[in-house]
Structure 1
Amino acid sequence: MATAIRASVDRFADLPTLYAQMTATPEFRAAFGEPLTVSIVEPGDEPGEHQMPEPFAAQAECGGVIATIFDLFAGTRLEPLTADIAWGIVNSFHFVAGKLERQEDAIAKEVGKLARNPDVSEVYTKELEEKQLLCQSVAEQREAIECMRDYAAEMYRAQSGWPWSPARGTRASSASSASQIAAIDFLRARKLATREKHMPEGPIVVVTGPSQWHDWKLIWDRLDAIKVRVPHMTLVTTGQRRGVDQIAAAWAARPENRIPVVVYGLYGSGRKTAFTRNRKILELAPVEAVLCEGSGIQANLYQLLRQAGIPIHAFRKADQSTDEVAMALSRRRRVH
């Protein structure tokens, strides 16, 4: 078998044929396997026949670049930087996908404007057809980049143990394992009901706590118990990239869970911003909440939820496993 493979890749030109014989996931086959017959690579270009990367090649190289960073830095003085570098690689896919989505929306508006003002001229017909093809081409590019982003994010989670989430904005695509949704986008989509993928359905469970929290098993076990009662939940966190919020996001990202996560961060400024957010979270009508002892902000949310009669699973700092705390302190001493 090894001899056959070596013979197959004697020349770089043989790589597409080899990749085509391998199997990619359904997401990559959908995004890369059936490209448009004719497409426009960049605005202003003439339509033409342009190839897409082979589905398996796209998947293998996308995952490989994340795994390579972790392998390269492992056991070296650069190891503490691994997660940040890998996070940036995933975020680059997210940045480009967002740029393409905005471009796609702008072109779609132009198509709509042309369609609402019909003209029988040949120039009008040609312009409308080219705009529509350009919109389809950009949509195809966006879907491919989103697919690569989501796979790279899953590789990041598998390697680092934490789910990837964007610095700001929305990550919500059909291939996403645990939709990370910015609260402003979530509420806007809920109000307008225009895009179903930005409207996770199901009862809301709130999870929040301090950025310093080590006992992940305590939280995971409680979320497992809640999921038995509320299997189609939507998880709401306060968007911190450490501690309780990230422990909950990591639980949601597990393949057996795949729970959508609404990241309800702080928007605006001022001393009362966090307390205003607490009231907004209450307006989402959660069915249960997991709160870990932290600052006065968590205490205020506890009071609001309790007054509303919402079941609360409250944990104090003293509830953490002593083994978990000891391990965390040991890791901290080794770093320093």
Structure 2
Amino acid sequence: MTKMLSHDAALDLFADAFVETTDRYRIVAGEDVTDAPMPDAEAVAQATEMVVRTLFDVLRDTRLEGIADQIAWGIVHSFHRVASQIEGQADKAAQNVKRLIEQADGSEVGTVELEEAQLLCQSLDETQDAVACMRDYAAATFRAETGKPWSSPRASLTSSKRTASVIAATDFLAARRKRQIDQKAPQGPIVLFSGGQMWEDHRLLYSALDNIRARIPTMILATTAQDKGCDAIAAAWAARSGCKIIPFTLNRKLGNRAGFARNEQLIGLRPVEAVVCEGSGVQSHLAREVRKHRIPAHFFAIADQHRGEAAR
């Protein structure tokens, strides 16, 4: 069983996510507005952990123990799907706010409609933050049990037609966009990681990544997003250490060039360091590109496993 987040750390995460950002709340257009409070953050944290952990407890030492991780994976995925659906609704609501800003004429009707649209968007954002926090904690519980990771608005104008609600809504959209950029395109030094799907020695890779992070504590790990082997080990390390990770998936439309095109994307990030493990021709190509661009790197061969050796 992998070490779980500390109780205090978990409560801090939930306290940040379960914040009432508006006095009024509505997540379905046309429904009544409520002023009900957010649920207690500590209670939700405990319930989220229990949903996953209790499943493993009741199935342990039974015939169904072998599929406990599959069922638990589905539980985490259900949180993920709901969070994603709400995020999509929030994005549509934000587009509606933007449309109303562009059409704003200063009338009372238009102002009220804009304020209601902003309330819907803000409520959805608040909800998505809460559900995403539950998903992340459920995923952390899954990892603790299994040892595996669960794998621009226009500027404000000064025209007299621009009412206070339009300015506020514009600022709201700008802040929302900035937060999304920070979450989906985190800023920091990039460390590349790629390797083959046949790999056993996780300690070797954990050690290399630990050493890099000790020197570059704000590093962001960019991987080639395979669901087993080296990339899965790197994802597990990132989950354990709390390092931000950007998995680069293949663009299947590119056919046989997909892997090489992804390598070019990774090199284009201007990484400060790289870890490349022996795998397929895609890894060989990436290693050549890393050397060509003189990126400090650690190269691991399959034969290096359990010996702690790397080429440079």
TM-score w.r.t. length of structure 2: 0.79
Alpha-carbon distance change, 34 to 271 in structure 1, aligned in 2, over 3 angstroms: closer
1:271 aligns to what SS in structure 2?
A: helix
Supply the AA of the counterpart residue of 2:214.
V
CA distance in structure 2 between the partners assigned to 1:82 and 1:212 by the alignment: 25
Find the counterpart in structure 2 of residue 248 from structure 1: 234
Within 5 Å, give how 1:270-289 maps onto structure 2. Answer: 270-289=255-274
Is the Cα contact below 8 Å between 2:20 and 2:37 reproduced in 1?
no
Residue in 1 aligned with 2:251? 267
- Return the alpha-carbon distance in structure 1 between the equivalents of residues 199 and 208 of structure 2: 15
* 2:243 alignment partner AA: I
- The one-letter code matched in structure 1 to 2:286 is L
2:299 to 284, 306, 314: 314
Deviation of 1:110 (Å): 1.9
TM-score for the superposition, normalised by structure 1: 0.74
CA distance in 1, matches of 2:295, 2:109: 62
The separation in 1 between residues aligned to 2:239 and 2:33, in whole angstroms, is 40
Identity of aligned residues (%): 44
Unaligned runs of 5+ in 2: 1-7, 152-177, 308-312
Alpha-carbon distance change, 193 to 98 in structure 1, aligned in 2, over 3 angstroms: closer
Measured after TM superposition, the shift of residue 250 of structure 1 is 1.5
Alignment of 1:58 with 2:41, yes or no, is no
Q: Counterparts of 1:24 and 1:221 in 2: how far apart (Å)?
A: 26
CA 1:225 to 1:125, structure 2 compared with 1: closer, same or farther past 3 Å? Answer: closer
Q: Over the residues paired in the alignment, what is the CA RMSD in angstroms?
A: 2.5
Q: CA deviation at 1:73?
A: 2.4
CA distance in 1, matches of 2:92, 2:201: 47
Asked if the contact 1:35/1:51 (under 8 Å) is kept, the reply is no
> In the alignment, which residue of structure 1 is the partner of 2:310?
none
Q: Which of 305, 319, 324 is the matching residue for 2:290?
A: 305
| Structure 1 segment 31-180 matched on structure 2, within 5 A | 31-32=17-18, 34=20, 36-119=22-105, 121-165=107-151
* Cα 1:76–1:202 shift into 2, 3 Å: same
User: What corresponds to 1:174 in structure 2?
Assistant: none
| 1-structure distance, mates of 2:180, 2:59 | 44
2:95 & 2:193 partners in 1: Cα distance?
A: 39
Q: How much has 1:193 moved relative to structure 2?
A: 11
Shift of 1:77: 3.1
Say whether residues 1:230 and 2:216 are aligned partners: yes
Letter matched to residue 311 of structure 1: P
1:184 alignment partner in structure 2: none
C-alpha distance after superposition, 1:48-106 (max 9, x if no partner): 33343222221111111110122222233323322222222112112111211121122
